[in-house]
Structures are given as C-alpha cells and as structure tokens.
C-alpha cells in the first residue's frame, strides 16, 4: 500500500468573481446616483390643484398626553377638551380609520383621563387605547 509523502498545494480562494461583483455594484450605484441628480435638475413646472388631499394613508395613531395637573397635550400643543374634540373630529373626517392612544400620568387624577376618552368618543373616534407600563414586581403587582 503506497503512502503519500508529498503534500499537495493548499487550496486557494479565487477572488476574481468577488472583485467583479464589487465593481458591478460600484458602477450601478454611480449610474443611479447620476440619474437621480439629472431628474431633479430638470426644469419642470408641476401642475396646480385647488384642494390637496391625502394620497397616502393617514397616521396610524394619535397620542394624547394627560399631564398630572390635568392639562391635555396633542401634537406638542396644550389644548382644551373642546379643542381636542374639534381637532380629532377634523382628523376623523380625513382619515376614517384613525386611532388614539391616551397616555395619562400615573400620579394624576383618573377623571382627567376619563374626560379625554369622552372627548375622543365625541369626536367619533372608536379605536382608543390607554398606554400603561408593566410593573417592576415579579408577579406583575407592585406592593407598597
């Protein structure tokens, strides 16, 4: 039985196909970048419309924050309850599937959160939720 005493050359990795793919990607990105610049530099006068409507679906949810002292914040603006109802009713007219999440301060009165939920209902919002966070205890109940 003959034994092999001479070792063959170790296998080598052929990098030529990898380099070809990298060069093709570089060329592709250079060409598409050039076309993007060429398209945006064209002098085109776009048409005018009288009323701009939403072409894409509206926001999935609106967040209403109820602060500890009872103030209501919508879109970083402090609003009153009638103002909240009016703004949400306006959004409801444009986007019928709008949903609202109410975030109430844990140390505030629940009556303020209930008033905000009532204002949302008056605006015609049917998809509402209350934001909460999980308790730190192992059984899910905080003890004091």
Does 100 reside within a domain?
yes
Q: Is 109 exposed, middle or buried (0-12, 13-18, 19+ CB in 10 A)?
A: middle
Considering only 8-17, 41-50, 77-86, which range has the smallest mean pLDDT?
A: 41-50
**3-class DSSP state of 79:** strand
Is residue 85 within 8 A of residue 122, CB to CB? The reply is yes
Does 101 reside within a domain?
yes
**Residue 126's domain is classified under what CATH number?**
3.30.420.270
Does 7 reside within a domain?
no
Does 18 reside within a domain?
no
Is residue 131 within 8 A of residue 101, CB to CB? The reply is yes
Q: According to the model, what pLDDT value does residue 143 have?
A: 46
What residue has token string 């505030």? 108
Does 81 reside within a domain?
yes
Does 122 reside within a domain?
yes
Number of structural domains, the chain? 1
Residue 25 pLDDT class (50, 70, 90 cuts): very high
Q: Is 86 exposed, middle or buried (0-12, 13-18, 19+ CB in 10 A)?
A: middle
pTM for this entry: 0.55
Q: Look at residues 103, 99, 101, 102 and name the one whose alpha carbon lies nearest to residue 125.
A: 99
Alpha-carbon distance of 94 to 97, in angstroms, equals 9
State how far the alpha carbon of 20 is from the alpha carbons of 12, 13, 24, in Å.
Answer: 18, 14, 6
Does 99 reside within a domain?
yes
Residue 18 pLDDT class (50, 70, 90 cuts): very high
Structural domain that includes position 66: 61-130
| pLDDT tens-digit readout, 50-102 | 776 656 666 668 889 998 898 999 888 899 999 999 999 998 888 888 889 89
Does 94 reside within a domain?
yes
């Amino acid at each position: 039985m003959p034994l092999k005493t001479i070792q063959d050359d170790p296998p080598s990795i052929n990098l030529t196909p990898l380099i070809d793919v990298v060069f093709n990607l570089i060329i592709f990105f250079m060409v598409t970048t050039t076309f993007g610049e060429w398209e945006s530099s064209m002098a085109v006068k776009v048409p005018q419309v009288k009323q701009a409507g939403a072409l894409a679906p509206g926001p999935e949810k609106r967040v209403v924050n109820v602060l500890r002292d009872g103030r209501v914040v919508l879109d970083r603006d402090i609003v009153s309850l009638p103002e909240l109802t009016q703004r949400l009713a306006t959004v409801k007219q444009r986007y019928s599937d709008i949903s609202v999440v109410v975030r109430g301060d844990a140390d505030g009165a629940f009556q303020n959160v209930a008033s905000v939920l009532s204002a949302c209902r008056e605006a015609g919002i049917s998809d509402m939720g209350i934001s909460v966070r999980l308790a730190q205890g192992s059984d899910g109940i905080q003890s004091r």
